A and B are shown apart, each in its own frame.
Chain A
Amino acid sequence: MNRVTQAQAPPAAGPVPAAAGGRRAVRRPRSAQWAAWAFLAPVTGYLLLFYAYPLYRNLELSLRDYTVRSFVQGDAPFIGFANYAEVLGDPAFGPALWHTLVFTLVSLTFQFTIGLALALFFVKNFRLSATLRALFLVPWLLPLIVSSSTWSWMLNSDSGVVNAFLALFGAGPVHWLTSPDWSLWSVIIANVWIGVPFNLVVLYSGLQAIDPVIHEAAALDGATGWQRFWRVTFPLLRPVSAVTLLLGLVYTLKVFDIIWIMTRGGPSGSSTTFATWSYRLGFGNLVPEFGPGAAVGNLLIVMALVFGLVYIRAQRRQIFS
């Protein structure tokens, strides 16, 4: 992890400077602590008001039986985990879970592999490489509505450029967005396109931090390019890869805009993930079901945490074994 942080010049220190101040361990007087917290007061208030409170309301939504009327009046009865039970028993639950898993894992695999390949390509500096690397960031920086609507039109069954391209090879028109067999793959393709730049940038800075001397030594010992990658680069890159994948996981789990704009989770739920399901329940129908919607949302948070923990444990086992 440190490797990446050191790779860029400006943010040399970590976010917890208290630990970094060991050089001068002078204990600050009490008044200094007051001043320090006075500067932290806005952000603390902000977090309580605009993070903690909405999250609390969200939790409350999931534990009460809200209707449109009781939503306004605020007198919805407390029903415990009934909303969660309803969601778990819903026939849409299984497919939504499966789509979330497929969407996340397939997206991550391709984003990471392509990102790493590109990072390896760009790490050898060549003419224009800095400019081209900057251009590669465009998909990641574009507003999601822009990328999603562009992909929608490109994947259009009749007039899309993708099908026109496939037709050159005699492949029949694929109903990307309108066929239940393809809709999930369509949103995955768009999501991979958006996520590659992030992987490229982070892995690139990780690669830059690897001392070229190590490669030269390996080359002198007769290692081929392939061996050098698998035996030297890849292991040294593992901490950075871990961070990239973990963040990619968290970001991918919560992807909503792309799927909603391209397919609205359809057709017939074939690209519905937890994020779009939650939105559909809360805002997508004429009669909103805030309780179950919030329940699905909270399940999504739990899922992110579980994934994170499983992942961190696996990572730790690898390091200590």
Chain B
Amino acid sequence: MRAARGWWRTVIGLALTGVMLFPVYWMVNVSFTRDQDMRRSPPSLFPLNGTLEGYRAVIDQQSPYLGVSVVVGLGTVALTLLVAAPAAYSLAKLRPRGGGALGFVLLIAQMIPAIIMAMGFYAVYLNLGMLNTVPGLIVADSTLAVPFAVLVLTAFMSAIPDELTQAARVDGAGTLRTFWSIVVPVSRNSIITVSLFAFLWAWSDFVFASTLDGGGGLRPITLGIYHYIGNNNQQWNAVMATAVVASIPTAILLVIAQRYVAAGVTAGAVKN
């Protein structure tokens, strides 16, 4: 009887997940729908006369944008780790005076709306001539990830036993050596988690892209979709195909880092 009850829960769970993920399915469905079927009423629930035209349009028109997004994402990951990993090591293991205050500042920083940062960045970049540049966008995007990265990495690194770092010290390793040879390898999983989130946020960013990178030739994929919606309201299969392609990093994140994602959501969010 217990097993039977468990099965009921699975059935309900599947139904709930189906409802929740229906928009995702719909995106995929529309991406395969032919232009002439797009306005059909009622819309067909399955892409019976499927077409790959949408995806062909993505490859033809959106490839450069995808490239820019990959570069921006990787740059954001590099910058984020470069800044956040040493800071987290220090906060977790070196007990700096004033470290608590810095942690608080990071917590507040996480809550500042990106739209406000964007306006400030716009003013700064205009004077520096950094508008419409990839490095400018990388720096702006990294502000989405750095506070989160420091907080999460600090939490993970605090869990490294002190005996480990002390043993390295006894063996004659300096602070830098301990960090690089002991703490970083041991924290590999958390570093991967943080990198994935940093990449995903940079990849998903629309606010900074549209304010700081709206005019140049090197635009990320989010703007590619946005201008698609504005320009050709008819070709929704191409829009949705781009959306499907833009969702790939999310899928990868879920598949390879499933068990860290939930930890990352809560660890970044819930801190006191």
Contacts and interface: CB of A to CB of B under 8 A. Distances in A.
Contacts of B265: 137, 140, 198, 201-202
B24 interface: yes
Contact of B158 (A8, A20, A205, A298): A20
B42 A39 contact: no
A57 B118 CA distance: 11
Contact of B99 (A18, A60, A127): A18
A250 B107 CA distance: 12
Contacts of A35: 94, 175
Nearest to B92: A17
A54 B100 contact: no
Interface string B103-142: 1011101011111110111111011000000000001101
Contacts of A143: 200, 203-204, 206, 222, 246-247, 250
Given A39-B86, A159-B39, A54 B13 contact: no
B111 A250 contact: yes
Contacts of B96: 18, 33, 36-37, 39-40
B151 interface: yes
A278 B16 CA distance: 37
B10 interface: yes
A15 interface: yes
Specify the main secondary structure of chain A where it touches its partner: helix
Interface residues of B, number: 109
Interface in A190-242: 193, 196, 198, 201-202, 205, 240
B193 to A, nearest CB: 9
Specify the main secondary structure of chain B where it touches its partner: helix
B154 interface: yes
A5 B30 contact: no
Contact of A71 (B114, B123, B229, B263): B123
B120 A243 contact: no
B59 interface: no
Interface string B247-272: 10010011000100111011101111
A14 B254 CA distance: 26
Interface in B199-218: 200, 203-204, 206-207, 210-211, 214
Interface in A1-36: 1-2, 4-5, 7-21, 24, 28, 32-33, 35-36
A35 B226 CA distance: 47
11 contacts: A5-B271, A8-B263, A15-B155, A39-B175, A42-B86, A54-B117, A137-B254, A138-B254, A139-B21, A158-B41, A300-B113
Interface of A: 1-2, 4-5, 7-21, 24, 28, 32-33, 35-37, 39-40, 42-44, 46-47, 50-51, 53-58, 60-61, 71-72, 74, 118, 121-122, 124, 126-129, 132-147, 149-154, 158-161, 164, 167, 193, 196, 198, 201-202, 205, 240, 243, 247, 250, 253-254, 256-257, 261, 275, 278-279, 282-283, 290, 293-294, 297-298, 300-301, 304
